[in-house]
Each structure stands twice: as C-alpha cells, then as structure tokens.
Amino acid sequence: MSMKKTIEKAEEYLLHTYNRYGIVFDHGDGVRLYDADGKEYLDFCSGIAVFALGYGNKRYEKALTDQIGKITHISNYYYSEPLAEAAEGLVKASGMDKVFFTNSGAEAVEGAIKAARKYAFNKDGKCDHEIIAMEHSFHGRTFGALSVTGNEHYREAFRPMIGNVSFAKFNDYESVEALVSDRTCAIIMETVQGEGGIYPADKEFLQKIRKLCDEKDILLILDEIQCGMGRCGSMYAYMQYGVKPDILTTAKAVGCGVPVGAFLMNEKVAANSLVAGDHGTTYGGNPLACAAVAEVLRIFEDDKIIDNVNKIAPYLQKKLQEIVDEYDFLLAERGLGLMRGIVFDTAKKKPGDVAAAALSNGLVLITAGTDVIRFLPPLTITEADVDEMADKLRRALSE
C-alpha cells in the first residue's frame, strides 16, 4: 500500500486524537527508521523513550519469538517462568522490593495511587487522604493519572478528577511544604519531568522532600516512566539523588516495544497496602510482556547499556550547547543523561516547526512543553550518530 493510501485508510477509521505527521513507518534498524517508501530517518525519539536498545536487537527478538512459540498469555491465577524472571530482574534493577506489572505507564500510576491510599487507609481507617503533585507534570491519561497531571489543558473537559489532589511548584520546596496536612498520604513527581519540558529535579529539592516524607510518614512516589531504565545514566534516575522512593513507576523502555509497565514498592508499603483482591489486571505480567522485560534487563547488563549512556551523554550535551550558542532563538540546553531538551524563544521560532523540518531532513524529534524540543535517542547511539543528528538539526533550524 502506498503511504498516501495507508494514511487515508487510517484517517477514515481511526478516532482522530492525534495530529500525526504524514509518514508511514515500516521498519527499523539500530537507530534508524524507514518509511514505506524506503526513506531513512535517524531516530532521536525512540517511540518516546521506548526503544532503548534500538531496532532489531537480535537477542530481544529471539526472546520474543521463542516465547510466542510457547505461550503468550495465561491468567494471573497461575505462575509463569517469564513472570518470575521479570519480577526478580526488575526488583533487583530498580532497588525496590516488590513489583506489580501493568500494561502501560498510566496504569502503573493508577496502581501507585491505589497503593498509597490503601497504606493511609490502613493507618487511620479514613477516606479523606490527600496527594500532592507537581505543576507541569505528566502521569498519563486515565482518571487517576490525569488527576495528578499538572496540565490544565489535558484535564479541563473531563472534570471532575479524583479529589484531594493539590499542585505544588516543581523544585520549590516551600510550595510543597505549604500544601502538607495531616491527611497528606503521598507526594508524586517525575524525577525528571518529561512532557512538561525536560526539567530534572534539583538534588536538594528531592532530598528535602524525602526528609519531609520520612518525618510525616508520607509516601514518596517517583514516576520514572520516561526518565528511568537507564536513560539518565543510572538504572533509575533517583539513584543519582541519594534518596529512595517508597513507590516507583516504570514503563516505556521496560519492554522496549512490548506494551508493559510496572509499579514497585519498598517492603514497608508492600506489607501495609494492597493485598489479594485489592488490585488486578488481565494482561499485566503476561508471559510475552515478561519475556521482553526479563531479556531487556539481561541485555542492559551484558551490553553495558548504561555505560554507553554515560559515555555519549556529555558529548550530546556539548553538541547541543554549541547549537544553542549559534542561534539567537535558542535559549538553553538542559536534561540528564540521554534525556535532553533545547529551549526556544517561541516568539522567534516554534519548536513544532523545527521538529517538522527535521523530519523532512530525515531526523525524528519531538517537542515537550510549549517551548522545548526533546532528545530521547536509543541508548545505543554513538558519537557519529550525534554528529549526524547535529548536522540535520542545524539544517532544520536554518529553514
């Protein structure tokens, strides 16, 4: 089918909730994508931080096809070996104690919120607990996740949200402290805000929040759905902050293309929150998804993926800073590891226009917030890939 025909068919039948670019992607290889006409694109989006290993990793593909040959689904009333393997792997990699597998990031956030509310309910038997979330945060599109998402644009038409959520200013400790009451059960935030515009948490901010949570027995929920799984230079970004969350959410790169997420918790929360019957999912943790998770984690270790992140990230940062210095409509570069953004003076140039121009030049990029283009390449990129990206980006910026 021609690209035009595919697009026409898709638009005829799909509910229009995305303004898609007019490209039909057909296959991938390493850090490159190919459209249905065979045109090559360098991918600095990786399906929004999903394809951490790049496309066509042979070990990953073999693990999946082997599992497809055996069984792809059993109900959660039974055990499977991939489930046990993935659970051990993810608990060890995340530094947490127990895991619940979901099908997506939003569902991981739902589970995290339920665990926090149950923990508080178990303490005082009350149903009036509050959650503090952050402005400009993003946690997903389902009602619980949307209720802690600090972006009015996503929420307005869908009110009422779940109640008792208030929003503090990210990286402003006093604004968090001001919202705390004796009914606060959890503080939720991304360790590095993604959709909101690539804002890493300040170390001091996160450490003070941790201390506050300890003092008041408030649960700290860190959403690392985008910034986790090695992207920021450690298996989870929190590991660079000298703090540990009580509940951690993960998804996106954890299955590298198979839809899967998880929420994890420490022993304290595990022992005092969700019990049999409290939470469930039909697909969550099925053998196909778990075969992917278990193999992804093994490949991360064997191929020293995080070492590559730490090798390439400073180079990417340097190249982006050079570009920022060259264009008067670029204001700054920021990020952590291979999760980076450049900030636009939107009165002079729109990031969306540059992302579209980049695509025509064979470079896949996406925006974040209102004034940022973000860079989320596969974690396997090389310096040569960064150089190629910089050339293509310059061309797009100069258009």
Ligand X SMILES: *Cc1c(COP(=O)(O)O)cnc(C)c1O
List residues near ligand X by CB under 6 A: 104-106, 109, 138-140, 190, 194-195, 223, 225-226, 251-252, 261
**How far, in Å, CA of 145 to CA of 64, rounded?**
30
Is the CB of 195 or the CB of 371 nearer to ligand X? 195
**How far, in Å, CA of 294 to CA of 283, rounded?**
16
Q: What tokens does 7 get?
A: 């697009």
Tell me 342's DSSP state: E
Residue 182: closest CA among 255, 238, 126: 126
Quick check: 168 and 200 in contact, CB under 8 A? no
- Phi–psi pair at 264, nearest 5 degrees: -125, 155
Q: How far is the CB of 109 from ligand X (least distance, A)?
A: 6
Residue nearest to ligand X (CB): 105
Is the CB of 63 or the CB of 189 nearer to ligand X? 189
Is the CB of 252 or the CB of 340 nearer to ligand X? 252
Is the CB of 133 or the CB of 396 nearer to ligand X? 133
Quick check: 362 and 37 in contact, CB under 8 A? no
**How far, in Å, CA of 144 to CA of 107, rounded?**
9
Q: How far is the CB of 128 from ligand X (least distance, A)?
A: 26
Residue 34: closest CA among 42, 22, 26: 26
Is the CB of 188 or the CB of 343 nearer to ligand X? 188
Q: How far is the CB of 62 from ligand X (least distance, A)?
A: 25
Q: How far is the CB of 252 from ligand X (least distance, A)?
A: 6
Q: How far is the CB of 209 from ligand X (least distance, A)?
A: 17
Q: How far is the CB of 17 from ligand X (least distance, A)?
A: 13
Is the CB of 119 or the CB of 199 nearer to ligand X? 199
Q: How far is the CB of 344 from ligand X (least distance, A)?
A: 21
Long-range contacts of 216-219 (CB under 8 A, 24+ apart): 216/180, 216/182, 216/184, 217/123, 218/180, 218/184, 218/185, 218/186, 218/187, 219/115, 219/116, 219/119, 219/185, 219/186, 219/187, 219/246, 219/247, 219/269
**How far, in Å, CA of 252 to CA of 228, rounded?**
9
Is the CB of 107 or the CB of 396 nearer to ligand X? 107
